[in-house]
Structure 1
Amino acid sequence: MLLNEEVQLLRKVPYFCRVDPCKLKLLAFTSDRVCYEPGQYLFTQGDDSEAAYVILCGKVDLLTDSSNGEVKIGEAGCNSIIGEMCLLSNASQAVTARATTEVDALRITKDAFFKVIADNPRISMEISRTLAETIRGSRLSDMQHEKQHA
């Protein structure tokens, strides 16, 4: 895939949609293109956070360990990013990410991710905005769930 194509794909990720294409070109250039077969792990719960992954195509299950084994708690697909929250918080991976289909992704190392953030304050704003929307949506969902069971 050409660098310009990767830049266009990065622009579809909410964090990066309003970022200068030149900055995205640098991010795409410093990222690694990785491919996974169904069943392969991108990372496992408890791993050190070394990279975030932009899913270019395919589907990834997000799993957590329980007393009954792995439990699916979500999934990530095309144009989504996973692993970035643990990078930002400098925490170990909170979930396991396993490919359910063939997956093509960009692996963005911690150093590259933070360099792009430092060089482009707009990304910090987009991350904050996206997180706020996610938390708000989660809270609304929780409130609706509580009303249904009250």
Structure 2
Amino acid sequence: MGRAGNWGRMQLDDVATILGKADFFEICDAEQRRLLAFAAERMRHKPGALIYKVGDTAAGAHVLVSGTVATTADLEGQGDPHVVSKVGTVFGAMALVVAKPRPVTLKSIDYAETLFVPRSAFKKLIDGDPGLAARAASRIREELLSYLGAIAGVRGRIGGA
């Protein structure tokens, strides 16, 4: 594991490019993504490794760089998993704004790499750019509404069963 700031220019640009592929970070301009890339920590996870668990206090978000991970709603990560392998997927975007307990467990399925983007770095950006703060709030609101809509759809199917 290492800090992006120690990787050199080309690798720092690669990290910024990965952030550019992440839907959530579309709200940032290229320079803001470079600043986040500098603060990000690239983490390598072995198969079956626990990245975080339900109830952990979130200090930032993870962006999938490679490999496959799964989220589950239970503490042990044994429940019905949601498997993800799309590069640029952001896990815990809300953690970039608030320190709340994690609602899910995130585990690697195979060898996986993530970028950990600390809330402290993101908050520095939004403190200096009210427009970014508004875009972040809007994006998080959209994601929550989408999530709630998905839950409502499942609840309707379960209730009708």
Q: Indicate the SS of the match to 2:87.
A: coil
- Does the 8 A contact of 2:77 with 2:107 survive in 1? no
* Aligned equivalents of 2:153, 2:103: Cα separation in 1: 26
- Using the TM superposition, give the Cα deviation of residue 79 of structure 1 relative to its aligned residue in structure 2, in angstroms: 0.7
1:16-67 per-residue CA deviation (whole Å, 9 max, x = no partner) reads 224221111111011111111110011111112122111112221111227x
The equivalent of 1:49 in structure 2 is 58
- Does the 8 A contact of 1:11 with 1:18 survive in 2? no
- The alignment's C-alpha RMSD in Å is 2.7
- Does the 8 A contact of 1:15 with 1:126 survive in 2? no
Q: Indicate the SS of the match to 1:97.
A: strand
- Does the 8 A contact of 2:77 with 2:105 survive in 1? no
- The match for 2:110 among 87, 101, 124 is 101
Provide structure 1 residue ranges, at least 5 long, that are not aligned to the other structure: none
- Using the TM superposition, give the Cα deviation of residue 123 of structure 1 relative to its aligned residue in structure 2, in angstroms: 3.6
* Aligned equivalents of 2:31, 2:95: Cα separation in 1: 26
The TM-score with structure 2 as length reference comes to: 0.76
Structure 1 range deviating more: 69-78 or 99-108 = 69-78
Change in Cα spacing, 1:51 to 1:143, as seen in structure 2 (3 Å) is closer
Q: When the two structures are aligned, how many residues end up with a matched partner? A: 149
Structure 1 range deviating more: 140-149 or 36-45 = 140-149
Change in Cα spacing, 1:45 to 1:32, as seen in structure 2 (3 Å) is same
- Does the 8 A contact of 1:16 with 1:126 survive in 2? no
Q: Bigger relative contact order, structure 1 or 2, given CA contacts below 8 A and separation 6+?
A: 1
* Aligned equivalents of 2:118, 2:140: Cα separation in 1: 20
Provide structure 2 residue ranges, at least 5 long, that are not aligned to the other structure: 1-9
The TM-score with structure 1 as length reference comes to: 0.80
The equivalent of 2:79 in structure 1 is 71
The equivalent of 1:137 in structure 2 is 146
Q: Indicate the SS of the match to 2:101.
A: coil
Change in Cα spacing, 1:136 to 1:47, as seen in structure 2 (3 Å) is closer
* Aligned equivalents of 2:125, 2:116: Cα separation in 1: 14
The equivalent of 2:124 in structure 1 is 115
Q: Indicate the SS of the match to 1:23.
A: helix
Residue 58 (structure 1) aligned with residue 67 (structure 2): yes
